[in-house]
Structures are given as structure tokens and as C-alpha cells.
Chain A
Amino acid sequence: MGLFRLIYDSSVLMAQSVPEALEALSDQDAGAALVAGATWVVRAQGRHMPLARRFIALSNIPQLGLIAKNGSYVAIGCMVTHHVLAQALPDIPVLRALRQAAGGSANPGVRQVATIGGNICAADFAAADLVAAALCLDATVELQGVKGTQPLALADYLSVRAHRSGAEILTEISIPISNACSAHARLTLRKAGDYPVVIVSMRAARRSDKTLRDVRIAVGSVEATARRWTSVERALEGQIPTPAELQGLAANHIAEFTPREDIGAPGWYRAQVLPHVLCSAYADLLGQLEGNVA
């Protein structure tokens, strides 16, 4: 009975501070998993993965749930939920893609509990809306470990997140503020109960001659990990094509993707519809840029 109770007692730790969470995470024998909104971790068995033996919950650490505008960037705590992000993110044009992504992800109930930190850290979740949105906004993540804090570009973090060792917690996401605009588009096969087949987030500013500059395109759900579409970004710099022209241009670069296959959609389908979703995001972005010459 004593051992029985001990296992139960330790199955969830409500950490009161980041150092406490890090200390618990360092105990490799505990088989612990960090829990933000819990929406991914609790479904491990549905993915034929073992449920972590111990949950280390971050929801009792208030500073991880804050959004703050600090001069030239916005800092978002890892525990900020999609719902709060959609409601409370500063009303700045460049952040619109992130607001759209947060306000349209999953469904209203899940948005109340799922967090931006969870979205970014779930390495095996390919269809995370917030990852694509943050990627197109040049986000930086702050990783706190036992030896200190390390900032890392989100793009770099995504490429190594599944292989990082040692106890660390992604505590904050920083997004630089600029005079660019942004847009987010996603395609689901049904209105409800579906992950997006393709996600596209775009960011760009306009030159005085109305051509585009500082173009960013992030594509999610097509491959296992969201990534930038740099060849099309380069092709757009200094140009201002129509949405139809961009769709044609993008189709010429589709072969750069190795689309994933899963129960949601075959790979060829994801590749086929990607230029259309890009076109949709671009049309939205052009609407935002109208009158925003900088």
C-alpha cells in the first residue's frame, strides 16, 4: 500500500517555479514529461506511445502565462493559451497571422487549454497552427536549463527539438515588431474534427514602389516539421505578383517538399493543394498591405 500510494503521489507535480520543474525533469528515472495545456501529452496512448509516468505541470507558474510588449518585440509566456493569444495579443498588423492561427486552431474547447509552448514543443505534432505562424514572424524561443537561459531562433529549435538532451523548458516566445503585415491560412477537409492538411503563414512589408520586401513564408502540416519556403520567399522579394501568378510560381517549387502521409491525407494531396492555400494567405496579406506602404 505504501508503494502504491507513493506512485500515485508522484504521478503529477504541480511545479511552483521553473527551477523546481527543471529539478524534477532532471530525474531521468522518473520518466517525466512536461505538461503545459496537456492536450498532446494525455493522448500519448492514442498514438501508441506510453503515457509518461510523471507529469510535471507548469500551470502554477504565473509568469509563464503573461504577454508583454517590450519595446521592439512581444514576449509570450509558454503557458499562454490559444484563446488568450487570440484575445490579448497586441493589435499590431504584423501579429495578425498569430492571432488568426490562435483563434482558428482546433476548436473552442481545445483553444481554452492548449498553449503556444505546447504547440511548439510537441515534436511529433505536424499540424500545429501556431508553429507556422510564429515561424513566419521570425520568432525566438527562450530555453531555460539548469545552467542558465539560451535564446534560439525558432527555426533552429524546430530542427533540433526532437534530439535535444538534458532538462530544459521553453519558457518564452519572442516576436519582433515591424511594420510588416501577416496572414494565416489553413485547409481542413471538414469543418470540425480535423487537423489542417496544409497550413501557410506569410509575412511581408512593402517598399515605396509597392513591391514586397522582408517576405517570410512558413508551411506547416505538409512535412513532419513546419519550415520556411525560402525559394518562393526569394522569388517574391522586390515583386508584387497577383495571387494567381504566385500560385503558378509556387507550383514550380512544390518538388522541394517531401509531403507526409497519414490518415488525414496522402502526401500528393498536401502538395497539390499547397499552392492554393499559399494563394489564399497571399490574397489576405495583400489586403492587409493595401495602404500600408513603408
Chain B
Amino acid sequence: MPVNLTLNGEARTFFGDLRTSLLDVLRQTFRLTGTKPVCGEGFCGACIVHIDGVAVPSCLRPIGLLEGACVTTIEGLAPLDAPNPLQLAFQDQDVVQCGMCFPGMVMALSKFLQTNSTPSRSEVKAAMIGNICRCTGYERIVDAVLSLQSGERAQ
């Protein structure tokens, strides 16, 4: 039985083993390799995508559960020539190193900022608890997130 879903705004259909993770479907079937396979256990956050507007690890979602779902990956978050403000902040402040964790960081934090546009430093850290970076250290990433706002809470 095929699974029909909306992927980055386009209607797509998957034929195959419905137990396959969304992560594998994105990368192997639809060649959307911006979503990264790292831990495969929901710990690291590198594979986070938006499913029906919620940021979740795609490695933990069997494709068979996603009939009718609306999925957005890093490729569909913003046009290449018009990154969203968070992507611009990461770029401007040069916080990206190997790039393995950053698609997930962007997906998780973009959604977080939609629900809390003026977070405190500790709130940003709490929101990032499911995103592991082994390169940069987290403080510069947090700085970049906080740079999107001005005022006392950004200190």
C-alpha cells in the first residue's frame, strides 16, 4: 500500500516497506540528504524534520504512520537564496563547522522560535537538549539564536 504525503510542499508517494524510517525514505528514496543519519536513536537531533508542524526526529517515525502528513525538511524550510533569519544568524556568526548537526539544529530551533520568539539563554539551551554538536561548542550557537532579538533577555 503506498503512502501519500506532502513533502516540502509537493505531493509525493512512497512504495515500499512501511516500517522504513522517514529518515531513510527521505535520503534513499527522495534523495533529500540534508537530513542527516547519525545516531538512529532520537538522541542527536541531526535528522529532525517538521511533521505536521512539529519538530521530531525522522529516524523514529516509520513511514507507514505518515499517510497524509505534511513533511518539511531542511531543503524545504526556506529558498536557497532567501535563508530564514536563524539560518542567516548561523551564517553571519560563522557557527557552522562540519555541518552534520546543523540541519537538525535549524529545524528544531526554527520551530522553537515560532513558539517563543524572545527566549532566555536557558530556554534556548533547554530547546537544544536534543541536538548534539561535537564541533563548535554550544555557546556560540546559543549566541547566534539570541542575536535574533535585542534587549535584556538576550544577554
B62 and A192 contact, CB distance less than 8 A: no
Per-residue B-contact encoding for A104-123, CB less than 8 Å = 1, 0 else: 00111110110000000000
When distances are taken between beta carbons in the complex, the residues of chain A under 8 Å from B41 are 43, 46
B62 and A55 contact, CB distance less than 8 A: yes
Q: In the complex, which of the residues B48, B130, B132 has the most CB atoms of chain A within 10 Å of its own CB atom?
A: B130
B62 and A12 contact, CB distance less than 8 A: yes
Contacts A8-B15, A109-B48, A192-B131 given; does A14 touch B64 at CB 8 Å: yes
Contacts A11-B64, A112-B54 given; does A107 touch B130 at CB 8 Å: yes
B19 and A55 contact, CB distance less than 8 A: yes
A193 within 8 A of B: yes
B57 within 8 A of A: yes
Question: Which A55-90 residues have a C-beta within 8 angstroms of B?
Answer: 55, 57, 59
Contacts A108-B129, A109-B55, A112-B56 given; does A57 touch B64 at CB 8 Å: yes
Question: Which B1-57 residues have a C-beta within 8 angstroms of A?
Answer: 1, 15-19, 21, 39-45, 48, 54-57
B65 within 8 A of A: yes
B146 within 8 A of A: no
Nearest Cβ on chain A to B90's Cβ, whole angstroms: 19
B61 within 8 A of A: yes
CA–CA, A223 and B61, complex, Å: 29
A143 within 8 A of B: no
B67 within 8 A of A: yes
Q: Give the interface segment out of A34-42, A206-214, A234-242, A272-280.
A: A34-42
A147 within 8 A of B: no
B70 within 8 A of A: no
Per-residue A-contact encoding for B62-73, CB less than 8 Å = 1, 0 else: 101101000000
When distances are taken between beta carbons in the complex, the residues of chain B under 8 Å from A191 are 125, 129
Per-residue A-contact encoding for B100-142, CB less than 8 Å = 1, 0 else: 0000000010001000000000000111111110000000000
A108 and B19 contact, CB distance less than 8 A: no
When distances are taken between beta carbons in the complex, the residues of chain A under 8 Å from B132 are 192-193
When distances are taken between beta carbons in the complex, the residues of chain A under 8 Å from B62 are 12, 35, 38, 42, 55, 57
B130 and A14 contact, CB distance less than 8 A: no
CA–CA, A7 and B19, complex, Å: 11
Q: In the complex, which of the residues A51, A52, A107 has the most CB atoms of chain B within 10 Å of its own CB atom?
A: A107
B96 within 8 A of A: no
B77 within 8 A of A: no
When distances are taken between beta carbons in the complex, the residues of chain A under 8 Å from B126 are 108
Nearest Cβ on chain B to A33's Cβ, whole angstroms: 10
B56 and A113 contact, CB distance less than 8 A: yes
Q: A110-B56, A191-B129 are in contact. List 5 more A-B contacts (CB 8 A).
A: A11-B18, A14-B65, A46-B40, A107-B131, A192-B132
Chain A interface (Cβ < 8 Å from any Cβ of B)? 7-9, 11-12, 14, 35, 37-39, 42-43, 46, 51-52, 55, 57, 59, 106-110, 112-113, 191-194
Q: List 15 A-B contacts (CB under 8 A).
A: A11-B17, A11-B18, A35-B62, A39-B60, A43-B41, A46-B41, A106-B130, A107-B131, A108-B127, A109-B48, A110-B42, A192-B43, A192-B128, A192-B130, A193-B39
